Amino acid sequence: MLAENVFPPIPSEIIMPLAGFTAARGELHIVGVVVAGSVGTLLGALIWYYIGLRPRHHAAQDPGPKARPVADAG
């Protein structure tokens, strides 16, 4: 799930059913699959959150040059 959030070409719609099938066969524990999926999703989202959180120039802080008033058309 972490890979899905960081590298979008890896969809969870393929990974999670395969993990569920493997858990149903007894090769994985279903609680571990759910926990790993949840933690991976959270970590992947946090990566993008902190990338977006870093300081940068905002238009609201410095709107730039003032717009000229529009001449009255009438």
Segment-wise mean pLDDT, segments of 10 residues, the chain, 74 residues: 68 86 93 91 87 70 62 62
Q: What is the pLDDT of residue 6?
A: 67
Distance CA 29, CA 16 (A): 13
Distance CA 33, CA 58 (A): 41
Q: What is the pLDDT of residue 47?
A: 86
Ranges of H-type helices in the chain: 2-6, 12-24, 30-53
Q: What is the pLDDT of residue 58?
A: 60
Distance CA 72, CA 68 (A): 12
The CA-CA-CA angle for residues 30, 46, 3, to 5°, reads 55
Distance CA 65, CA 14 (A): 50
